[in-house]
Structure formats: structure tokens, C-alpha cells
Amino acid sequence: MKVLIVLDHPRRDSLTGAVADKLAEGLKAGGHIPEIADLHREGFDPRMKVEDEPIWGDRTQTFSQELLDQQARVDRNDAIAFVFPVWWWGFPAMTRGWIERVWNQGWAHGWGRMKQSKGLILGVAADNAPSFAKRNYEPSMKTLMLTGIVHYCGIEEGRFELLYDSLTSPEHQKILLDRAFELGETFETSVTEKQAYNPLKS
């Protein structure tokens, strides 16, 4: 299986960058072919451009080459994984902008649907699990990201997971990296949560 890893972090040598690398290593160990899309290093512009804002219902609209190139990269992969730091209990602006520009009407939603079979959302969180649970952040994020984006756009199987306490000891960070490797190695069996509804009928 070819898997596109969408990496979002301004520092490539961050723990988030290491998580992406470990996920890729695990994918290779599991017999898959990873491709990393490093949004910051590639200079992706997350701002919506006039030519890329969908005109609702217009099936003849022409989009920018940058957007078409990004869609082609997604299309050549069988699955997709997002690796990012949790900022303000959500995606960083770069990831959000990439989704808003690239996953557009007629390709990812509307009369089009994503062709990938699996989607992994892997966030690196500085806070701990009890803090997220106390405020109900995790289920809220899961609904937004997994149900509202991945499943909504036609990717039937997905997984949402947070790697907590990312700023603690090197020993704990190694545990997080090992988990990223495991998710890659077991990708076909661990990314299996199916959508709870059919977006075409809702």
C-alpha cells in the first residue's frame, strides 16, 4: 500500500518530524511504500487563492497547477496519514489550509469523493490524557477530523490517535516514537474504524 504522510511542523528536527519518520519506517517494515509531504519544507501556501476557491456547482472550473499537483500526489497513494503538533486543540494552520485548498468540491466532496481506503490522524500533544479527557477535547477533535473530514470525504476506514506528554522525558518520547513505528507497521490492521454514516445520504 502506498501511504502519503502529510507532515506539518516548522522545525524538521522536532519530535513531530521524528514521529513522521518513525511512522514511515514502520510502514516500510510492514511492506508499505511511504511518501512524506513536508508542507513547510516544500513551501506550500495554505492561503486560499481566488482561482482555487470552489464555485459551488461549477464542474468546469479550472484550478491552479499547485492545487492540481497536490491532488495528483494524493491520488497516486492508496492511503493518507496526517502527522502534526496539536495547537489550540486542532490542526495547525498549515494542515488546515492544505485541506481547505486541496480537498475541494468535486474532488474530495460534493460530486467527487476521495479514492483512498484508509486515513490516519496522528497528533503530537504536549498536554496529558487526563487534561484532554477533563475538557472533552479528544472526542471533539475526533469528530471534527475523522468524521467531519476523513470519513466525510469518502475514506471509509480511519484512525484518530494522540501521542500525549510530548514535552516530558526522552524516555517517554521514545515510547511515543515506538508507537508511531507500530502504527506504521500494523497500518492495515490498526487503521480500521469505519464511518458511522454515509455522507452521500446525509
DSSP state of 10: S
Q: Tens of pLDDT along 75-97?
A: 999 999 999 999 999 999 999 99
Contact 4, 35 (CB under 8 A): yes
The CATH class, in words, for 2-194 is: alpha beta
Distances (CA, A) of 81 to 24, 47, 182, 183, 185: 10, 21, 14, 10, 13
C-alpha cell at 93: 494552520
Q: pTM of the prediction?
A: 0.94
Cell 514535552 -> residue:
167
Write down the pLDDT at residue 61. Answer: 87
**Nearest-angstrom CA–CA distance, 64 and 24:** 30
Q: Which regions in the chain score pLDDT beneath 50? A: 202
Q: Identity (one letter) of the amino acid at 187?
A: F
pLDDT computed for residue 198 by the predictor = 54
Predicted confidence at residue 153, as pLDDT, reads 95
Length of the chain: 202
